[in-house]
Amino acid sequence: MMAPWDLYVIITTNLGGGRPTLELVRQALAGGATAIQLREKDLPARELVELGREIRQLTHAAGATFIVNDRLDVALAVEADGVHIGQEDLPARVARELLGPGKILGVSTGTVLEARQAVADGADYLGVGSIYATKSKEDAGEPIGLAGLKAIRAAVTIPLVAIGGINSSNAADVIAAGADGVAVVSAVIGAPDIAAAARELLAAVRRARH
């Protein structure tokens, strides 16, 4: 399944400068975000489902893809477009079986070995990184750099969404190294003007491709 991965904005409310979650989503979509991921590790399932349903309506209206981080149950309950899992979450092959063929499965990878395994397990796209140092994810590990991204690009053919320390200044380098799009947290939802930050980053990604 293909989806537009140009600008993949991850919504983590505590990094949004005190603004309500749905406002973060609305502003990111207004700026052209092509995919939204809900990543709220601390919310109870009931609240996540309520929030997810509202985000699903917003993304559907905007023609954007909606992914839920980690919580396969929530993704299915809110009829999200898919789920994204890390190396320590539910095994990708199990997630693929439970999701069924019509939903998107994304897997976080940082090595060629992880990337190849994720593809074998049925991933539709890979989140690759961290490319650069980042403060948005405490367990991000050492950056793999552009060289790490290039190695994974050479090993697999499915879409790659690069993540970790990406902004409008370095997005072109990331696309040139083989990414199909960029995933960001603080570069967009931490900005004073979320929509403007999203527009600037999306423009940088699309310029790099032409």
Q: Is 49 within any annotated ligand binding site?
A: no
Helix extents (H) in 71-144: 72-77, 92-99, 112-120
Distance between CA atoms of residues 32 and 8, nearest Å: 10
Q: Is 110 within any annotated ligand binding site?
A: no
Q: Is 68 within any annotated ligand binding site?
A: no
Q: Is 205 within any annotated ligand binding site?
A: no
Find the catalytic residue in 56, 71, 108, 168.
Answer: 108
Q: Is 150 within any annotated ligand binding site?
A: no
In which residue are the tokens 């559907």 written?
60
* Residue 123 burial (C-beta neighbours within 10 Å; 0-12, 13-18, 19+): buried
Find the catalytic residue in 56, 96, 137, 153.
Answer: 137
For residue 137, indicate whether it is catalytic: yes
For residue 168, indicate whether it is catalytic: no
Three-class secondary structure of residue 65 per DSSP: strand
Q: Is 164 within any annotated ligand binding site?
A: no
Q: Is 136 within any annotated ligand binding site?
A: yes
Query: Which of 93, 54, 52 lies closest to 73, judged by CA?
Result: 52
Tell me the binding residues. 37-41, 69-70, 89, 108, 134-137, 165, 185-186
Q: Which residues are catalytic?
A: 39, 108, 137
Tell me the binding residues for Mg(2+). 70, 89
